[in-house]
Structure 1
């Protein structure tokens, strides 16, 4: 019999810059509750909260999204470069809870727009979630809903987590760089291995995205994170900008003040992520000192002009418990 051809998906991208870490065990929720900023019981198969893992000093080791795959089985989607380092860190505590951690080698992550997401969902028998950070599931597939884009006609986006067998049914033809650009323009920064232990969660606006529960109990770094929030001690914030340059900036590249401000060349921040745009510019996420920005200085990266833009969300605390309550 002839083999059925894969379904062509021209606007779906294999998200190879992301990967998944599986945590399994009877007390997986208790284990993670003491390690992560999420209220773990919110990961109930319908809502998949953003979360992060911190050092005792409150600096981020990783950030990602936590989903429930089955009873006693949670999956964290995060940067591929962070799966092994985070797993090594968490394994130090795993024996106390009798949980196992392993890279989800059979998980294929695909990013899809609305049209392709409907095609995928229909083929997989999935109900497509219609609100940010919601989850839909079957036995062999999960789908996560991401926030709407920033342009007028932008819809939600969806990340599908499939087994290799299920993923083989589809031919994803888009480039992941377009997905990464959409994340950047949406103000979503995902740490990689070179950025560990560099930022408080609030420096990436994580509490404004619903990535920190201030209503849960203790977790590693919680005291520092809470103090920074309640005492207003966050002196650096994630900002969005557009760079006129011939080459992309490196992550960590310095952002400096330009022109006759009296502080020419002063370093006020660094690049966290960037992606090319069709107009030849680069969209940039950068962590910047907040105090100098109140003076609206002209900024540059290695001499190229950086123009700041408004983020598509307000810098206000957004409790994940509120987001979860909105899931029907």
Structure 2
């Protein structure tokens, strides 16, 4: 074995001679692990691990991250959001009590003044070609986009599962993908609660 034991709880980690294993947020009723090691060690271990763990490819990894509510900013979405819009402070990805970083003033102002009007939600759409950067439109105001797809992955059911950053007022409403006459989004429960500033 490459580590003595796997981490018992989400966000736990185990260090070993072959690297570090971190347990991520459980998804689809099963634990997920991230192994930080070099390519040579991973390649040699892969055949043995296949007998012990369910190994997934990039598509499975993206789908699991979406269902865990963990955004991945890509070239299509860079510079589009402040951290709270993609729920990073709810995931522990931003600490408002310490550290300095570019854009800190804007981010902190949004947090402390309670002016946040946008969040990221989990949704499904009947379009397997949906991708990051696509716009979404509320039928209450179809002339302008109400949000943007942060991440998308085909779900094996003829559609795609999405993380969608959008106006809070449109959350749960009749929202369409790509255009006002595009396919409707079906909102799903996030694996964590949005905090009180969103209510």
Q: TM class, shorter-chain normalised? A: 0.7 to 0.9
Cα distance in 1, alignment partners of residues 135 and 103 from structure 2: 27
- What is the CA-CA distance between 1:243 and the residue it aligns to? 0.1
Report the counterpart of residue 282 of structure 1 in structure 2: 160
Structure with the bigger RCO (C-alpha within 8 Å, sep 6+) is 1
Between 1:229-238 and 1:200-209, the stretch displaced more is 229-238
| Distance apart, 1:134 and its partner CA | 2.2
TM (normalized to structure 1)?
Answer: 0.53
CA drift of 1:241 comes to: 0.5
In structure 2, runs of 5+ residues without a counterpart are: none
Q: Which residue of 1 aligns with 2:6?
A: 128
User: Could you tell me whether the CA contact under 8 Å between 2:83 and 2:89 is conserved in 1?
Assistant: yes
- Corresponding residue to 2:187 among 297, 308, 312: 308
- CA distance in 2 between counterparts of 1:220 and 1:305 reads 36
Rounded to whole Å, the distance in 2 between the matches of 1:167 and 1:264 is 49
User: 2:24–2:31: 8 Å Cα contact kept in structure 1?
Assistant: yes
Shift of 1:265: 4.2
Aligned equivalents of 1:218, 1:264: Cα separation in 2: 39
How many Å apart are 1:314 and its aligned residue?
A: 0.7
Match of 2:68 among 186, 189, 192: 186
Query: Is 1:271 aligned to residue 149 of structure 2?
Result: yes
Query: Which has the higher Rg, Structure 1 or Structure 2?
Result: 1
How high is the TM-score relative to the length of structure 2? 0.84
Q: Deviations over 1:123-153 (max 9, x none)?
A: 113331122222211233111110111x4xx
Contact map agreement 1:130 1:156 (CA 8 A) in 2: no
User: Offset of 1:255 from its aligned partner?
Assistant: 0.4
Question: How far 1:194 sits from its partner (Å)?
Answer: 3.2
Match of 1:209 in 2: 91
2:3 and 2:17 in contact (8 A); partners too: no
Report SS of the residue matched to 1:307. Answer: strand
Quote the Cα distance in structure 2 between the aligned partners of 1:220 and 1:299: 33
What is the root-mean-square deviation in Å for CA atoms of aligned residues? 2.0
Residue 132 of structure 2 aligns to a residue whose secondary structure is coil
**Runs of at least 5 residues in structure 1 that lack an aligned partner in the other structure:** 1-122, 318-328
Query: How many residue pairs were aligned?
Result: 186
Residues 41-79 of structure 1 show CA distances to partners (whole Å, capped at 9, x for unaligned) of xxxxxxxxxxxxxxxxxxxxxxxxxxxxxxxxxxxxxxx
1:251 has 2:132 as partner: yes
- SS of 2:184's partner is strand
- List 4+ stretches of structure 1 deviating above 6 A: none
